[in-house]
């Protein structure tokens, strides 16, 4: 994507959970536009500018949380790729993320491969708007249709991301996906995020971000201690790591993050970022 096309792509083709990818993209792009932004993501800015959509309907999108989450996933993927430079990153529910380009720009040797798995309308937009690469493959299907796993060459390592996905699945679907990834990819790793249980309960019927937008229901969540238990309940998981969030912008914000991550008192009210090691 070198410049913003004159004819924009229609964003209204995305509905339901897929529409939320426009919101997270918009938040990252707004953050990237700031002179003191925490994320360097020119492609996210160009992507927003290339999509014809009423982004204002999402309400307040000048916040740093989604950029922080993206940076957290980038950091762990880069850490894995530093050890396994020819590995495949599988981005489940990648939406309109631009992680491949951000990570590739950091110079990791250009040997890693990328598999995007998302629903057909998202993949169609990605094909239209993002620059192709012979290292990127796209699967236009549900992550719950496990046939995408047949496309992964696991011989050089696999890092699976589920950024902003599992909360939208039914509990048995989310657990089934984790279980199958652990079974199929020994030696690989999987990272996912989940909102705190109270938030998920509140958002169960769909949370309003504005008068015109309601986020779809989030039926699945885990507390940090429930996530830690996965090592005992899911065959093939050999370690579970509760990941800290990277520092964001602002002293008060960072002090709050620091406190919530260190005091068990806040375990049930903080989001969970989990890294699973398989094998």
Ligand X SMILES: C[S@@+](CC[C@H](N)C(=O)[O-])C[C@H]1O[C@@H](n2cnc3c(N)ncnc32)[C@H](O)[C@@H]1O
Q: Given the rule CB under 6 A, which residues bind ligand X?
A: 17-18, 20-21, 24-25, 93-95, 97, 117-119, 122, 142-144, 163-165, 168
Q: Quick check: helix, strand or coil at residue 274? A: strand
With respect to ligand X, which residue has the nearer C-beta, 95 or 236? 95
The CB-of-169 to ligand X minimum distance in angstroms stands at 7
Nearest to 112 by CA among 89, 138, 90: 89
With respect to ligand X, which residue has the nearer C-beta, 88 or 116? 116
Using CB atoms, what's the residue nearest to ligand X? 95
Q: What are phi and psi of 162, to 5 degrees?
A: -130, 80
Cβ atoms of 221 and 47 closer than 8 Å: no
The CB-of-20 to ligand X minimum distance in angstroms stands at 4
The CB-of-189 to ligand X minimum distance in angstroms stands at 17
E strand or H helix that includes residue 202: helix 197-202
For residue 151, give every residue at least 6 positions away whose Cβ sits within 8 Å of its Cβ, in sequence order, or none.
115, 137, 139
The CB-of-231 to ligand X minimum distance in angstroms stands at 25
With respect to ligand X, which residue has the nearer C-beta, 112 or 148? 148
The CB-of-24 to ligand X minimum distance in angstroms stands at 3
With respect to ligand X, which residue has the nearer C-beta, 41 or 230? 41
Question: How far apart, in whole angstroms, are the C-alpha atoms of residue 158 and residue 154?
Answer: 6
Cross-strand partners of 89: 114, 159
With respect to ligand X, which residue has the nearer C-beta, 86 or 99? 99
Structure tokens at 155: 């011989």
């Amino acid at each position: 994507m070198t410049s913003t096309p004159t004819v924009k792509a229609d964003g209204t083709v995305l509905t339901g959970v897929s529409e939320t990818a426009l919101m997270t993209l918009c938040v990252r792009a707004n953050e990237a536009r700031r002179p003191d932004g925490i994320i360097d993501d020119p492609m996210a800015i160009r992507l927003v500018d290339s999509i014809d959509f009423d982004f204002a309907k999402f309400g307040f999108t000048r916040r740093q949380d989604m950029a922080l989450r993206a940076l957290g996933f980038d950091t762990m993927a880069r850490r894995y790729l530093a050890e396994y430079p020819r590995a495949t990153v599988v981005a489940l529910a990648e939406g309109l993320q631009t992680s491949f380009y951000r990570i590739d720009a950091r110079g990791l040797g250009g040997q890693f491969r990328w598999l995007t798995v998302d629903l057909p309308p998202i993949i169609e937009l990605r094909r239209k708007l993002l620059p192709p690469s012979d290292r990127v493959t796209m699967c236009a299907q549900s992550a719950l249709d496990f046939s995408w796993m047949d496309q992964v060459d696991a011989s050089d390592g696999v890092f699976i991301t589920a950024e902003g996905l599992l909360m939208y699945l039914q509990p048995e679907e989310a657990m089934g996906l984790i279980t199958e990834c652990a079974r199929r990819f020994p030696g690989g790793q999987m990272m996912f995020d989940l909102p705190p249980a109270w938030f998920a309960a509140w958002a169960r019927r769909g949370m309003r971000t504005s008068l015109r937008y309601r986020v779809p229901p989030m039926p699945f969540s885990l507390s940090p201690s429930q996530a830690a238990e996965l090592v005992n309940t899911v065959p093939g998981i050999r370690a579970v790591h509760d990941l800290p969030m990277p520092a964001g912008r602002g002293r008060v914000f960072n002090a709050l993050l620091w406190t919530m991550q260190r005091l068990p008192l806040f375990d049930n009210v903080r989001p969970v970022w989990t890294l699973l090691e398989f094998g």
